[in-house]
């Protein structure tokens, strides 16, 4: 099977579900060969994972990182010490896992297998092969029925609970919290910054059922000290002058959750120097990622109303002249609410279509025009960013947002271009 055929097969796996425990057993239980931290939440979980993995690496550990979704290639989801699995290794892992699935299910393998389940099995087996000490595991959509549920983690993080993926997780905050609170393991520790009473009730109940400890982070003790295009500095509890390079004021909360998770492991496992270095060194593509400074070109995968609200808040302390938003939104999202959140930050909007599950840009434009913000429809995303670059002055900000799929498209296009933009990253 060629690499391209393998990818096509993987993407088309939409079965009824695998017996993960049994397959892991046939693989020799790779998930029991390392210690793990599992992270769930509506927004911010990928950034928390990036902080955790970098901190553990700075502490001298060999660290596996499993995240989702990817921006361009599925290999981005599986990393060891910051190195993505290669195309060749990814291909070999798929064939290895698929052989075990076929051993169990035979001709009915494709009726059972799901894309994310197979990826999770590939990652866990690869981490065992790579002899990682720790694995940082990002849950998929939920946590209770998520393919990562087989992993026992002494420390788990639940970033927040917002209304998203309602078609699979539930229509209310309480229903979604019920799904995501299952990230905590029996007898483990759950760290969260969530404060909504209806979410906390479900989180507390899950911890009681699993005899787990709950640490609710009080963000009132977080003090931001500086915020610029170069990064951010803040105090947290007794920690002074912690620094992160990631942009966006919401990243301070994510950094605090990472600090608390590492602090819970103890100074003997992760020293303060590693926490400081890891926070400062961590990078996370597609989340307020700055590609260029003249004009400023930023990618941010805000994919729901809460993410858009966080983006708008994060932009306010940064210095720029006009904000040109390149916007594409995927289906099954609350497009009207997302637009309502981002419109106040925009001086003009160029609406486009993400290649995968993109909403009709003319429909999005119809939601924007009553606001009075100038709006242009350019269906092809490469033409949309080209128009934004042509319209931008050197102190303007071009912000590509609304869909991680769109962010991935523009990021891949950007990397393949020669730009006159000064100070490109």
Number of domains in the chain: 2
Please write the tens of the pLDDT for every residue from 256-307.
999 999 999 988 899 999 999 999 999 999 989 999 998 999 999 888 898 8
Percentage of the residues of the chain whose pLDDT score is greater than 70: 96
Q: Residue 422, SS3? A: strand
Out of 227, 253, 281, a domain closes at 281
For residue 182, the Cα-to-chain-centroid distance in whole angstroms is 18
- Nearest C-alpha neighbor of 291 from the set 299, 281, 302, 303: 299
Phi, psi of 17 (to 5 degrees): 120, 150
Same domain? 243 vs 309: no
Q: Can you give the pLDDT at residue 93?
A: 97
Same domain? 231 vs 302: no
Average pLDDT score over residue span 13-23:
95
Residue 419 lies in a domain: no
- Judged by phi (left if over 0) then psi (alpha if -120 to 50, else beta), residue 223 lies in beta
Residue 424 lies in a domain: no
Q: Can you give the pLDDT at residue 55?
A: 98
- Nearest C-alpha neighbor of 405 from the set 137, 68, 138: 68
Residue 425 lies in a domain: no
From the DSSP assignment, how many helices (H) and strands (E) are in the chain? 16, 17
Same domain? 232 vs 300: no
Q: Can you give the pLDDT at residue 419?
A: 57
Asked if residue 423 has pLDDT above 60, the reply is no
Out of 281, 316, 347, a domain closes at 281
Q: Can you give the pLDDT at residue 72?
A: 87
Same domain? 87 vs 206: yes
DSSP string, 64-117: EEE-S--SS-GGGGEEETTEEPPHHHHHHHHHHHHHHHHHHHGGGHHHH-BHHH
Same domain? 310 vs 254: no
The residue behind tokens 């609970």 is 161
Residue 37 lies in a domain: yes
Asked if residue 422 has pLDDT above 70, the reply is no
Same domain? 318 vs 355: yes
Q: What is the mean pLDDT of the chain?
A: 93
Same domain? 200 vs 312: no
Same domain? 310 vs 260: no
Of how many residues is the chain composed?
Answer: 425
Please write the tens of the pLDDT for every residue from 326-351.
999 988 889 999 999 999 999 999 99
The residue behind tokens 């109940």 is 205
Q: Can you give the pLDDT at residue 164?
A: 64
Asked if residue 420 has pLDDT above 60, the reply is no
Same domain? 202 vs 316: no
Same domain? 272 vs 323: no
Cα separation, 62 vs 82, in Å, equals 10
Q: What is the CATH number of the domain that holds 118?
A: 3.40.1190.10
pLDDT band at 415 (very low <50, low <70, confident <90, very high): confident
* Alpha-carbon separation of residue 190 from 55, 179, 182 (angstroms): 19, 14, 10
Residue 230 lies in a domain: yes
Cα separation, 21 vs 6, in Å, equals 24
Average pLDDT score over residue span 210-226:
95
Asked if residue 148 has pLDDT above 60, the reply is yes
- Nearest C-alpha neighbor of 45 from the set 136, 135, 138, 134: 138
Residue 165 lies in a domain: yes
Cα separation, 168 vs 100, in Å, equals 28
Average pLDDT score over residue span 214-225:
94
pTM, rounded to two decimals: 0.89
For residue 149, the Cα-to-chain-centroid distance in whole angstroms is 18
pLDDT band at 88 (very low <50, low <70, confident <90, very high): very high
Same domain? 261 vs 329: no
Percentage of the residues of the chain whose pLDDT score is greater than 90: 80
Q: Can you give the pLDDT at residue 166?
A: 57
- Nearest C-alpha neighbor of 194 from the set 224, 174, 208: 174
Residue 375 lies in a domain: yes
Query: In the chain, what is the greatest distance between 2 CA atoms, to the nearest angstrom?
Result: 60
- Nearest C-alpha neighbor of 158 from the set 142, 172, 146: 142
Residue 114 lies in a domain: yes
Q: Can you give the pLDDT at residue 101?
A: 97
Q: What is the CATH number of the domain that holds 325?
A: 3.90.190.20
Out of 225, 252, 281, a domain closes at 281
Q: Can you give the pLDDT at residue 193?
A: 93
Range of the domain at 396: 289-414
Please write the tens of the pLDDT for every residue from 93-105.
999 999 999 999 9
Same domain? 264 vs 294: no
Please write the tens of the pLDDT for every residue from 347-384.
999 999 987 788 899 999 999 999 999 999 999 999 99
- Nearest C-alpha neighbor of 140 from the set 173, 156, 116: 116
């Amino acid at each position: 099977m060629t690499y391209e055929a393998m990818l096509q097969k993987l993407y088309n796996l939409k079965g009824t579900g695998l017996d993960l425990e049994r397959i892991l057993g046939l693989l020799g239980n790779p998930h029991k060969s390392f210690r793990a931290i599992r992270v769930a939440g509506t927004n911010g979980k990928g950034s928390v994972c990036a902080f955790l993995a970098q901190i553990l690496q700075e502490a001298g550990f060999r660290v596996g990182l499993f995240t989702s979704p990817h921006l361009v290639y599925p290999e981005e989801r599986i990393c060891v010490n910051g190195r993505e699995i290669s195309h060749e290794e990814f291909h070999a892992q798929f064939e290895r896992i698929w052989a075990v699935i076929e051993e169990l299910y035979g001709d009915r393998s494709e009726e059972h297998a799901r894309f994310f389940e197979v990826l999770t099995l590939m990652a866990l087996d690869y981490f065992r092969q790579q002899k990682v000490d720790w694995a940082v595991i990002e849950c998929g959509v939920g946590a209770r029925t998520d393919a990562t549920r087989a992993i026992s983690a002494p420390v788990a993080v639940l970033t927040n609970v917002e209304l998203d993926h309602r078609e699979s997780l539930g229509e209310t905050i309480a229903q979604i919290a019920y799904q995501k609170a299952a990230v905590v393991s029996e007898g483990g520790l759950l760290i969260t910054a969530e404060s909504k009473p209806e979410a906390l009730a479900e989180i507390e109940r899950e911890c009681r059922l699993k005899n787990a400890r709950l640490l609710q982070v009080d963000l009132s003790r977080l003090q931001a000290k500086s915020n610029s295009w170069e990064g951010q500095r803040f105090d947290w509890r007794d920690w002074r002058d912690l620094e992160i390079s990631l942009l966006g004021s919401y990243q301070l909360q994510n950094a605090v959750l990472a600090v608390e998770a590492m602090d819970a492991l103890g100074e003997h496992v992760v020293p303060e120097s590693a926490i400081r270095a890891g926070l400062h060194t961590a990078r996370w593509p597609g989340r307020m990622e700055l590609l260029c400074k003249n004009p400023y070109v930023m990618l941010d995968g805000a994919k729901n109303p809460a993410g858009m609200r966080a983006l708008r808040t994060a932009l306010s302390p940064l210095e720029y002249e006009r904000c040109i938003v390149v916007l594409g939104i995927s289906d099954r999202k609350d497009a009207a609410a997302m637009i309502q959140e981002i419109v106040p930050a925009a001086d003009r909007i160029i609406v486009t279509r993400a290649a995968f599950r993109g909403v009709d840009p003319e429909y999005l434009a119809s939601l924007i025009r009553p606001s009075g913000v100038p709006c242009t429809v350019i269906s092809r995303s490469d033409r949309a960013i080209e128009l934004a670059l042509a319209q931008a002055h050197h102190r303007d900000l071009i912000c590509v947002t609304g869909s991680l799929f769109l962010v991935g498209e523009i990021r891949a296009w950007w990397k393949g271009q020669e730009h006159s933009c000064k100070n490109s990253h």
